[in-house]
Structure 1
Amino acid sequence: MKAIEEHIQPDTAKAGAWADEDTGSAVKAFAAKDGDGWVTSGALKKAHGTWGGQVKNLMDRLDAEKSALRGAGTVLQGTDHGVGAQALKIRQPSPLDRY
């Protein structure tokens, strides 16, 4: 969970921002200046839109995985506490407990 929060999500967001800037520059460079642009401009724009959707899906998936890991941690911690409490109830008092 820590790796997701501190490395994977921030690095993915940085990569997405970097790609946005560079792709935007490329789309403008290939765009129409005199009425006729390169087909590459439209193709880049479409590919960038698809890629942006994939990055969003990845970020959403990482959020879901973080939530699942937190939930699993809570369940396991609760189980540990429950088992510990049961162990205390089952144990018979010893005469040495008073010392």
Structure 2
Amino acid sequence: MFSSTPTEKKAAANTIETELEPGTRKATDGAKEDTNAAARTLDGWETASGLKKLAEIWNQQVKTLMGRLSAEKTSLRGASGLFVRNDVRTGGELRSLGPKSKLEGL
């Protein structure tokens, strides 16, 4: 038995889509704006160039995180259907073998 049902997988995917992705995007956009504002304030100082470099690294990490969330969401939705299709196919294959047990038909 699997530790989660198709319904639970769908709910988890929906949570990623409706809560985690928008919340992460909002939080990261705020941090990006604050970092850029600090870099503008310190323009001409070495600290400004350090903050700009940090912002580049941050942006790449955010892209990686958002990609991972999207991939997890897609995987959850795909796994749900895959398990159902696999169960249906396996059941069909077993039924096609016909009665093998001496107990069948009693």
Measure, in 2, the Cα distance between the counterparts of 1:40 and 1:66: 38
1:67, CA displacement in angstroms? 1.6
Which structure's CA Rg is the greater one? 1
Identity of aligned residues (%): 39
Q: What root-mean-square deviation, in Å, do the aligned CA atoms of Structure 1 and Structure 2 show?
A: 2.2
Kindly provide the CA deviation profile for residues 28-77 of structure 1, in whole angstroms up to 9, marking residues without a partner as x: 1000xxxxx11110000000110110000011111111121122111112
Structure with more relative contact order (C-alpha pairs < 8 Å, separation 6 or more): 2
Structure 1 partner of 2:32: 20
> TM-score if structure 1 supplies the norm length?
0.74
Residue segments in structure 1 that go unaligned for 5+ positions in a row: 32-36, 94-99
Query: How many matched pairs?
Result: 89
> TM-score if structure 2 supplies the norm length?
0.70
After superposition, residues 1-99 of structure 1 pair within 5 angstroms as 1-31=13-43, 37-83=44-90, 85=92
Residue segments in structure 2 that go unaligned for 5+ positions in a row: 1-12
1:2, CA displacement in angstroms? 1.7
